């Protein structure tokens, strides 16, 4: 049984991604789980050359050692295709040729192409949603309830330009019976109902979710590659880990890197983490 950390190789680790990686690592170990590493690398144009190797080096420099082989979504395409075929056999997908202009006119998918079940060229593939409320309990954010038909409508599982969509690939990967705990940033909470919808349609087991607050820069934006977050300094791992532990509600003693991480494993508890995003300058 395992938890997992799944960065996108669009650049090096920054303080926000290290903070999430550390929380995921500690949470898995505190629960007696393995901690697995997966690269969500399906969006090839956004992948940065050398980013995977650099991320691996940063994790190792900070004492965050993963269990088992590193997984890559780009090497799991056959699993996503099999999942798509299952959805097709169940009559849950259709082919959509709606333009961006048409889609922009409605807050949710308007349903124009719902009857197009036969494959056609130059079309996205969408999965049908129904009007039932989808509910789950997040270990940090509490009880969640939503209606996909009112929030997003039928959503894309395979893009018009070819790649499998994030929602499908992540649902299949996190629906692996060995993945029992998914800790990630609160910014991904809105994706969870869509992934749970797919997990349910595929008869996969759903993991337990914990969405922790994200770190914000001075402009109130999430620390990310898109907002110019600098790469983490691998030469100061002890200071970086100490800063992240403080942000995660822990007050570590003055220890070296490895003893500090061992201390954090034994003192970790999700109840120390608040629900709101935190400023970190």
Q: What is the model's pLDDT at position 256?
A: 96
Q: Band the pLDDT of 227: cuts 50, 70, 90.
A: confident
Q: Is CATH 3.40.50.620 the right assignment for the domain spanning 77-168?
A: yes
What class has domain 2-75+176-279?
A: alpha beta
Mean pLDDT for the stretch of residues 175-190: 96
For 61-82, how does the pLDDT look when each residue is reduced to its tens digit (9 = 90+)? 999 999 999 999 999 999 999 9
Q: In the structure, what pLDDT confidence band is assigned to residue 275 with cuts at 50, 70 and 90?
A: confident
Domain boundaries, the chain: 2-75+176-279, 77-168
CA torsion, ordered 160, 164, 165, 166, to nearest 10 deg: -160
* pLDDT bracket for residue 28 (50, 70, 90): very high
What is the model's pLDDT at position 279?
Answer: 86
Domain 2-75+176-279 and domain 77-168, same fold? Reply is: yes
Looking at per-residue confidence, does 100 or 227 come out higher? 100
pLDDT in tens, 248-272: 999 999 999 999 999 999 999 998 8
Q: Is the model's pTM score more than 0.75?
A: yes
Confidence (pLDDT) at 247: 93
Q: Are 140 and 273 within 8 A, CB to CB?
A: yes
């Amino acid at each position: 049984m395992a938890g997992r950390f799944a960065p996108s190789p669009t650049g090096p680790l920054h303080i926000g991604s290290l903070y999430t990686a550390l929380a995921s690592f500690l949470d898995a170990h505190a629960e007696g789980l393995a901690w697995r590493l997966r690269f969500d690398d399906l969006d090839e144009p956004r992948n940065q050359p050398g980013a995977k190797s650099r991320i691996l080096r940063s994790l190792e420099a900070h004492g965050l050692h993963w269990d088992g082989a590193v997984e890559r979504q780009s090497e799991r395409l056959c699993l996503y295709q099999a999942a798509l075929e299952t959805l097709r056999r169940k009559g849950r997908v259709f082919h959509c040729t709606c333009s961006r202009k048409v889609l922009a006119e409605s807050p949710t998918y308007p349903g124009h192409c719902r009857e197009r079940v036969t494959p056609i060229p130059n079309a996205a593939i969408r999965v049908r949603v129904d009007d039932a409320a989808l509910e789950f309990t997040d270990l940090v954010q509490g009880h969640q309830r939503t209606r996909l038909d009112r929030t997003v409508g039928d959503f894309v599982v395979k893009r018009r330009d070819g790649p499998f969509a994030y929602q499908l690939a992540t649902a299949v990967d996190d629906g692996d019976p060995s993945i029992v705990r998914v800790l990630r940033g609160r910014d991904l909470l809105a994706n969870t109902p869509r992934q749970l919808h797919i997990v349910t349609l595929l008869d996969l087991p759903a993991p337990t979710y914990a969405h922790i607050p994200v770190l914000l820069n001075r402009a109130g934006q999430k620390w990310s590659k898109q907002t110019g977050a600098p790469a983490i300094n691998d030469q100061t791992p002890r200071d970086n880990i100490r800063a992240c532990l403080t942000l995660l509600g822990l007050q570590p003693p003055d220890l070296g890197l490895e003893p500090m991480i061992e201390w954090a494993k034994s003192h970790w508890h999700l109840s120390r983490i608040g629900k709101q995003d935190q400023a970190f300058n």
